[in-house]
A and B are shown apart, each in its own frame.
Chain A
């Protein structure tokens, strides 16, 4: 009993434990991964050393981690907005693709404009493309009550086919169109349209943009009336409506903004990493599944845009490090995917655990009422019953 009491009384300790839960969850997932590695007759210590080395072992490795983290963070920022507005956006993949298509079109069309201007226009176009792709399910949800989880997943499928069609047809690299191989890719962007590199690695300006945007999204959510309304609608649409907030409008905006950030992620992939759009027929072939992994990163960051930065870096590191691990200790790529999945499952479960702990802490028998001042008619007889 007294142990319980002490635990309750030192609430800050349990809060501290809460904040570390995702870390413990990641470690637990790696522990299970270690068991799987043992079954494959691989020394887990060696494997994880390779993973660490691949993600953080050298400036180049770390830069690679950050390059992978950039689209994750951008998607995660959008997810922070939509999930705060109680809109479940599963359409990051499709929104990335459409954003990338819009951005690529800008770069291939305005070849005689100055480089910096095209980059700005392309990023805006990516933002707009994602907004369109997120806005459509937003409108469907707000005005026709179409479940946004279903519609955004469907929009992913449409976006993939749209990409495949465009890259095989109207947007195909003219030189490929001549060849029999007909590789579905666009012409490369001009060198002056590439996002500048930050240090002599592959790290590009997109990473910096993403970090700045993380702060801006924080400001948007907690310092503007727009963010206030999105959160109000997300927390309690009834109360929001009664207070005069046009609920449907903010449902659309939440999904539209969410899509816009994914679209921007797609644009930075084209302008910062690939310098052209190319498809292998699947969505992940272009996105690297950042549209999904970004959701996990956002949840890992507890739907807080700034906390999403370290969360994205962690997942970026896992992705990059796992590649190295695969090469060094010769494990099948399926194991790498499984390891990622384990981290996701453990982190999401730990989040549920954290919420339960929070509820238990809050299960206080209400606060005592402070009596109002006795007023002059005290003692008067009770109203007739």
Chain B
């Protein structure tokens, strides 16, 4: 074995990996239908597809988490059996899961050490591991402190720990399962720098995403899956985003929904000089004043962690407002409990829909009445009205095209897009006066994203006042009438959409006023 077969990490290169005719069936679902896929050393191969297209299943088969019903895997041309993740790790395959597999209360080094035999028997060998982490960090440009605790790290840094973990275990081929879903645009750029470095060094990378611009940006080849079948593989340079989108969805898709002309009317939601704390004890909001009118979408743009979450929680009554006032339709509702605000027709599409918007072990029907279960026709004098609940559920499932076997299906069995549809259906169907939508399309595929955006615009047309908090600048620009930029708990500026450019917003998001772009506002 010559030196050129080695990666900088010391691991032997994987020249090629091929999956042939992979088929995987689940009860009632054909998750993968004779899928061929291959990846070579020195390339990023993007795997593109909507939620439920079979991307994750295919990769879980490659990583040994699932066993294929048919098909084979060839490593450097030779068939291999991958019965478990241990096998795949031994073959040099690593996987970065969408949800990190890290223990929050342990350090970086301790997390890397987890599950590995120690060189010192029953004692830990954290010093040796820390040294190796620093070596790897140096080679790949991953800035990380081995003694830092995971909970101290940002999401982007935690992802780097996952990458280090995989490299430490000798990964030559890395599967990145929607790695950008949880990252800010800046963190995405940093990740891409790391990925390019790895590819230059001879790693093979599989990049799963449904964000087209990222795929175009980072990959050399792209494979599109739809409904468990492979639609095709192409060099990325020979495709366009529009082609890829049409392949993915199986029809022509448009990116900008029709906004239509709506004249904003009276102010429905007003924040005056609102300040509140954050979970870290630092100020979350520092004197935020915004007003949202009926028939208007006010977009809140900003880099993650600049007070968006606190803003949403302050408005919905989940976080105590320290000073300032919130008015709902002209009435002071500062620090009202969430239930009271619900009754005043404030709807909330929470950022973390699985944590805050859904009860996983409740049925779809039960989830659909979460807000109004105590009202007619869902209940009467303390007793649930099952008939009313069922009628309501069936209607919303139909109207919002929720794909579910029945209204009695548990919410946890739905896909991400369908879960968001259930949340959306519940929040919108009550004809709210004010809607607070936080990251409403995060993690959704194109079809579901398009649908959510259309529904928000529909509500705008109906006269709802919508406060849209999003870290997706494209979304902000596509939907908002006015755009407020939040930075370190303050509103930097509010600009009409017509005057907003990504460049201008980008500067504001970084805390810089464009007209005085040399001075940083602190």
Binding site for B on A (CB under 8 A): 1, 4-5, 8-9, 11, 222-226, 228-229, 231-232, 235-236, 238-246, 361-372, 374-385
Contacts and interface: CB of A to CB of B under 8 A. Distances in A.
Interface string B26-67: 111101000000000000000000111110110010000011
24 contacts: A4-B69, A5-B25, A232-B359, A236-B360, A243-B342, A244-B342, A364-B28, A364-B29, A365-B26, A365-B29, A366-B56, A366-B416, A367-B403, A367-B404, A372-B401, A372-B454, A374-B253, A378-B254, A380-B254, A380-B255, A380-B256, A382-B241, A383-B478, A384-B502
Contacts of B28: 364
B217 to A, nearest CB: 9
A369 B415 contact: yes
B52 A382 contact: no
Contacts of B60: 365
A248 to B, nearest CB: 11
Interface residues of B, number: 85
Contacts of A225: 373-374, 379, 382-384
A239 B355 CA distance: 6
B338 A369 contact: no
A231 B69 contact: no
Interface of B: 24-29, 31, 50-54, 56-57, 60, 66-67, 69-70, 212-213, 227-228, 241-242, 245, 249-258, 316, 318, 337-343, 348, 350, 355-362, 366, 370-371, 373-374, 379, 382-384, 386, 401, 403-404, 412-418, 445, 447-448, 450-451, 454, 474, 477-478, 502
Contacts of A235: 359-362
A66 B337 CA distance: 48
Contacts of B415: 366-369
A215 to B, nearest CB: 15
Given A225-B379, A381-B256, A367 B52 contact: yes
Nearest to A231: B362
B337 A244 contact: yes
B251 A1 contact: no
B255 A242 contact: no
B144 to A, nearest CB: 30
A365 B316 contact: no
Given A242-B356, A244-B340, 10 more contacts: A224-B379, A225-B383, A244-B337, A244-B371, A365-B26, A365-B56, A369-B52, A375-B454, A376-B258, A383-B255
A187 to B, nearest CB: 41
A113 B382 CA distance: 34
A238 B401 contact: no
A378 B253 contact: yes
Q: Looking at A11, A224, A243, A370, which has the most chain B CB atoms within 10 Å of its CB? A: A243
A372 B60 CA distance: 28
| Shortest Cβ-Cβ A-B pairs, 3 listed | A244-B339, A365-B57, A382-B255
B254 A371 contact: no
B251 A374 contact: yes
Chain A interface main SS type: loop
Given A1-B67, A239-B355, A8 B27 contact: yes
Nearest to B28: A364
A377 B254 contact: yes
Contacts of B418: 367, 369
Given A365-B57, A371-B251, A243 B338 contact: yes
Q: Looking at A228, A241, A361, which has the most chain B CB atoms within 10 Å of its CB? A: A228
Nearest to A244: B339
Contact of A362 (B213, B374, B413): B413
Given A369-B51, A376-B258, A383-B255, A239 B454 contact: no
A226 B474 CA distance: 43
A246 B339 contact: yes
Contacts of B27: 8-9, 11, 361, 364
A383 B67 contact: no
A171 B404 CA distance: 61
A158 B115 CA distance: 44
Contacts of A228: 366, 373, 384
Contacts of B25: 5, 8-9
Contacts of A362: 412-413
Contacts of B478: 383
Nearest to B50: A369
B57 A369 contact: no
Contact of A238 (B255, B355, B403, B502): B355
Contact of A241 (B50, B338, B401): B338
B337 A246 contact: yes
A228 B478 CA distance: 39
B401 A364 contact: no
Given A225-B373, A242-B356, A375 B251 contact: no
B474 A239 contact: no
Nearest to A362: B413
Contacts of A245: 339
Contacts of B57: 365
B363 to A, nearest CB: 11
Given A228-B384, A372-B451, A241 B373 contact: no
Contacts of B242: 382
A116 to B, nearest CB: 28
A40 to B, nearest CB: 39
A377 B477 contact: no
A28 to B, nearest CB: 28
B252 A374 contact: yes
Nearest to B250: A371
